[in-house]
Each structure stands twice: as C-alpha cells, then as structure tokens.
Amino acid sequence: MPPRFCSQCGTRAVQGAKFCSECGVSLSGGRAPSGAGWQFTSTGGLVLGSFLVAGLAIWTTILSPTPPKPAPGAGGPRATANAPAAQAAANLPPDHPKVPLALPDEVKTFIADLTKRANENPQDLALWSRLGQVEYRAAQLDTSHYTAALAAFEHVLEQDPKNVDAIRGVANIHYDREEHKEAIPFYERYLALKPDDLSARTDLGTMYLYAGDPPRAVATYHDVLQRDPNFLQAHYNLAVTQHQQGDDAAALAELRTARGLATDEGARKQIDDMIAEIGGTPPADTAPAAAPAAEASAGASPFQATVEKNLRAHQIIGPKVVRFEWSGPGAGKVLLANFPMDGMPPVARAKFDERISGILKDAGASSVDGPVKLEFVDAPSGRVMATETPDPAEAR
C-alpha cells in the first residue's frame, strides 16, 4: 500500500497520487492498483511529520488523549507496518530527511515517562489507555511502537473486557498492520457496544473486503448508508467493492453520489480519478464553495486585524477560534472551543508561547500605544487558559 503521509513535509498523501500535493516530492507508493487499497479510512487522520519536526503540535498529535477526527473523505490509506523503509525512501533527494521520520526527543522522553508511570500503576486503566493511544499515534511515524500500543490496550482489556477505547485501539492496530482477519472480531466486539459508530462500521466492511468476503463488505456498507445516506466513506468503499466485482455501472453511480457529498478538493480529485479509471465522466463540481475567510472584528485596528488573521490562519489554533474581544489597542481575548491548553507538556507550551509572541511582534506590537497582551480563553467556561505577550518570558 502507498504511504499515508509525504515523508518530506508530513502532508497527508492523496489516495492514488504520485506526488505530494504540498511539496511536490515523489510518493514512493505510487498509484494503488485498482481494487487494492482504494478506500477512505475513518481513523488516523494525523498530519504528523512537519508538525512534530516543528515541535509546536507535539501535544496535540501524539500527547493528547483523543486523536483529531478527519473530515468525511479526508482519510487516506492507513500506514502499513509491512512496507520497508527503503521503498519509502526510493525517490527522495540526497539531502532528504531519514524515512520514517524520527520521533523528537521530547516525545520519546514523554513516552518513556508515561510508560514508567503506567508500569508503577497497573490498576490505573485510564493511564494505560492513554499510553496505548500515545504509542499508537507514535506508530504512525515509527511502526515499532505498534507492539507497545497493542500491549497497553491488551493490559486494559485483561481487567476491563468491555473498555471500548481499548477494543477499538486493538482493532485499529490490526487494520494498520493489514491483519484483516484479526481486526474483524475486535471491530465486531466494539460495535456491539457502540453500534452507532459509522466510521468503525465502515472500517469493519473494509476488513471483510480485504479478508476475502466482498458480499459481507457490501452488506456492511449498505447498513451504514441505511443509517446515514450521506456517509461519504461508505459510498466510496461500496464503489470500490462493486468495481472489484465487475459492476462498474453501480460503482459509477456510487462514486457520483460520493462526489456530490465531498467538500474537500483532495477527496473530489480522488473520486474523479477513479471515475475516469472506470471509464466514466466526472460530474460537474456540485460541492459547496469554500467558506470565505473570516473578516476582522468590526472596528479592529491594523494591529488587531493582523493578529486575528494570523491566528485564524494557524493550522492548530484557527479551527478552534470562536471570536476575538478587544479591550484596548493591544489587549484582548481569543475565545477558543475545545482547545487542550492544559494538556501541553512544558516543551510544547514553550513552543506555543514563542509562536504567539512572534505573531504579536509581526503584527506590529512595538507600534501599539499601551500594553500588548492576549488572553486565550476557554469559550464554554470563560476561564483564562494563558496570557501571551510579545516577550515569551512574560507569557503565563
């Protein structure tokens, strides 16, 4: 299977693409053969490489207890533990970083400390579950971590056989390792406890398909679509299965439906490519236009407008911004929703302070009349999580 991420910049690889959509480097996996690996997956969804190297999002991608969920159709193929690193590095320039990307030392230290605490507290299942999630996400860069992730989840299940997070974790690991038959009973076990999780149900259908049972895969995808007719991943995966079974007319119909549901350009391109490969004509672009960039707050000064623009454009902070409230020329609040500020380890918090201070300086903090400080506030509770200034040493 092709790589899930570009090994140079960390951008998620578009299914079937030969080159990274962000930096243009050749993707060593090339185009997946028809019927092999043609699926949007529902778990994962982590653009790890460039963020981890930069250090800012260490806590959000590997250290946070809950992984971010991709938008429907945004997922690419899962990483596979069986793909040799030499193959992934085949077309890289001489000065290219090593593949797979090494985990930063801060992450290694965090994982080691978390492992030590878990071993000292064998009855703390929440701690062991978090260790499993951390190791699982680390495995997206270094597949050797799958073993530790599996061991952590199995430790939880030994004491709590109905722990849904651990059951799903084991299922995902088997999926990533292409251990299809081993994954199936864990997805079934998970869905018996959480029957409304359509992402997991779609993944189960894919495991049936890869395990050599297309009729059961089709039935599973139909089950998902009965529950939610707009579930893009199920439409796409059903089309893949129908194409494999030689029913191209049905596959094209499903792909056109999926195309109408897709809002991500990469997903639409992937669907269009498969439609063209089957021999059909992609439909006109019916996806809704991208939302215009948010305007600056009414009456915002050039400094305030620039700060708002740069924070809204930030890949991590931007999606969490609810609104800005300015109480002075350089003083204000950024209200955020579901932003795990409290989960930052010291190294990530220092990077965060440095980045925000840089944004304030770049916006012209030195020319502002009066103090410059920005409070980051949890919107639901109103609690001030951090206060940032142009001087990182003053940030709290």
User: In terms of domains, do 318 and 202 share one?
Assistant: no
Q: Average pLDDT of 30-40? A: 34
Per-residue model confidence as pLDDT tens digits over 338-354: 787 776 767 777 888 88
> The domain that contains 382 carries what CATH number?
3.30.300
The structure tokens 């800012």 sit at 56
Alpha-carbon distance of 261 to 282, in angstroms, equals 14
User: In terms of domains, do 344 and 254 share one?
Assistant: no
Is residue 54 assigned to a domain? no
Residue of higher predicted confidence among 289 and 197:
197
What confidence category does residue 137 fall into, taking pLDDT thresholds of 50, 70 and 90?
Answer: confident
pLDDT for the residue 268:
81
Backbone angles phi, psi at 104, to 5 degrees: -60, 150
Dig out the tokens for 316 from the structure.
Answer: 């991590």
User: In terms of domains, do 346 and 309 share one?
Assistant: yes
pLDDT for the residue 140:
79
User: In terms of domains, do 270 and 345 share one?
Assistant: no
Is residue 290 assigned to a domain? no
Alpha-carbon distance of 256 to 223, in angstroms, equals 19
Is residue 153 assigned to a domain? yes
Number of Cβ atoms within 10 Å of the Cβ of 120: 9
pLDDT for the residue 298:
72
Residue ending a domain, among 243, 278, 313, is 278
Per-residue model confidence as pLDDT tens digits over 37-88: 333 333 332 333 333 333 334 444 444 433 333 322 333 333 333 333 333 3
Residue ending a domain, among 244, 263, 278, is 278
Alpha-carbon distance of 162 to 192, in angstroms, equals 10
User: In terms of domains, do 117 and 204 share one?
Assistant: yes
DSSP 12: B
Is residue 269 assigned to a domain? yes
Cis before 100 (ω within 30)? yes
User: In terms of domains, do 249 and 319 share one?
Assistant: no
> The domain that contains 219 carries what CATH number?
1.25.40.10
DSSP letters of 11-60? PBPPTT-SB-TTT-PBPTT-SPPTTSS----SS-----HHHHHHSTTHII
User: In terms of domains, do 346 and 226 share one?
Assistant: no
Please give the residue range of the domain that contains residue 125.
104-278
User: In terms of domains, do 115 and 191 share one?
Assistant: yes
User: In terms of domains, do 150 and 271 share one?
Assistant: yes
Q: Average pLDDT of 31-38? A: 33
pLDDT for the residue 100:
52
DSSP letters of 72-107? TT---PPP-TTS-HHHHTTT--TTPPPSSPPPPHHH
pLDDT for the residue 394:
64
Q: Average pLDDT of 242-255? A: 91
